[in-house]
Structure 1
Amino acid sequence: MFFGNSAKLKAGKSLNLKKNPKVPTYWYVPMTGVTVAGKRVDVPPNAFELKDDGTGGVIIDSGIAISHFEAEVYNHIKAAIEPLIHLPRTTAVDLDLCFQLPFPPLRNLSLPSVVYNFEGGVDMHLPENNTYVRAENDALCLAMVPNDAKFGVLGTIQQQNFHFLYDNAQKKISLEPANCASL
């Protein structure tokens, strides 16, 4: 974590943060969609929008491990990913979309890419390790789940190996990919 003058990004792209007057605890990011394997997921219009009644929107959180999306949005993401992974499903893990890894393990397992899309053409290309987690019982799981809350959450697994610069005065957040192991 860097503060003051040392908190700089080389080529970060900025997003305007929003406050929810009904729940002022959180910062909301202007998410507009999700792309899977190069194709924009067909979610309802305004699915990620913060609504006047205080519901909706997507927050960025440093206390929740995996991304959570409203069930309707999550189900569209799941429907886009599931047919692209050619492994048997498993329910041996307490995550929603999991696949059984073979033994011996595949050397070149191809997984669909996932990109979080934001206003202004800002895209957050998630590395495989930010999208899928290897769990117990040789399971490979999508690091996203549906929730009953009326908003989405960008979890910390998706934030790994990205630098985020919070500018509270300007109400902006900037992001760029990073190799955090090299710090």
Structure 2
Amino acid sequence: MNLKRFSYCLVSHRFDDTPQSSDLVLQISSTGDTKTNGLSYTPFRSNPSTNNPAFKEYYYLTLRKVIVGGKDVKIPYKFLEPGSDGNGGTIVDSGSTFTFMERPVYNLVAQEFVKQLEKNYSRAEDAETQSGLSPCFNISGVKTVTFPELTFKFKGGAKMTQPLQNYFSLVGDAEVVCLTVVSDGGAQDNRSGHHLGELSAAEFLH
């Protein structure tokens, strides 16, 4: 189709027809196109591997940083770039519900949430066991719930600051909230890549 820009719409968390807009544009090239003031841009990138044609089917982005509550999570550079064999990197994946991170990156992000939240909320370990999500926190009796922002920063300076409902969800009896970013139980060197799932894109990428 020779299109240079990528756009799609996902239903809101309320499954209604509320119109939404996004200030993040994904595109093939950052040059040669007219840019709109007030929008931030990040280019797509190619997978370095030429041996596996399956890698060409994905929309790759260059993730530079993950920021939790205004603090940069110290992620080794090698976990943000696809390897020479094509494994790793970051893709837009609206076919997956949750955003997925490689285990070493997920551990660092989850630990930062725990560090910032454990001062005000207790861990809900039973909910973690039952739901498979982690970390989870008990918010019963709390009148005003405040959580750190989750921001993805991409090449070109574009930032994707997530609405709270895109990365935390009520679980069970509505007194527990859990992080809806997931990983696998694989080895630390398993380069399965990072997937920006449907929950991260809902009400954000359009």
Q: Tell me the TM-score range normalised by the shorter chain.
A: 0.7 to 0.9
**Long gaps (5+) in structure 1:** 3-7, 165-183
Aligned twin of 1:53: 85
TM-score, normalised relative to structure 2: 0.69
State the alpha-carbon separation in 1 of the partners of residues 94 and 204 from structure 2. 13
Q: Higher strand share goes to which structure?
A: 1
State the alpha-carbon separation in 2 of the partners of residues 19 and 109 from structure 1. 41
**Secondary structure at the residue paired with 2:104?**
helix
Deviation at 1:100, TM superposition (A): 2.2
**Secondary structure at the residue paired with 1:46?**
helix
Bigger CA radius of gyration: 2
**Post-superposition CA distance 1:119-139 (Å, at most 9, x none):** 111111111111211112432
**Secondary structure at the residue paired with 1:140?**
strand
Q: Amino acid of the residue matched to residue 101 of structure 1? A: I
Deviation at 1:46, TM superposition (A): 3.0
Structure 1 vs Structure 2 CA RMSD: 2.2
State the alpha-carbon separation in 1 of the partners of residues 110 and 42 from structure 2. 26
Runs of 4 or more off by more than 6 Å in structure 1? none
Aligned twin of 1:162: 204
Q: Determine what percentage of the aligned residue pairs are the same residue.
A: 25
Q: Amino acid of the residue matched to residue 145 of structure 1? A: V
Q: Amino acid of the residue matched to residue 122 of structure 2? A: P
TM-score, normalised relative to structure 1: 0.78
Aligned twin of 1:15: 42
Aligned twin of 1:178: none
State the alpha-carbon separation in 1 of the partners of residues 79 and 100 from structure 2. 13
State the alpha-carbon separation in 2 of the partners of residues 163 and 131 from structure 1. 15
Deviation at 1:54, TM superposition (A): 0.7
**Long gaps (5+) in structure 2:** 1-7, 10-21, 24-35
1:63 to 70, 89, 95: 95
Aligned twin of 1:91: 126
Q: How many residues align?
A: 158
**Secondary structure at the residue paired with 2:86?**
coil
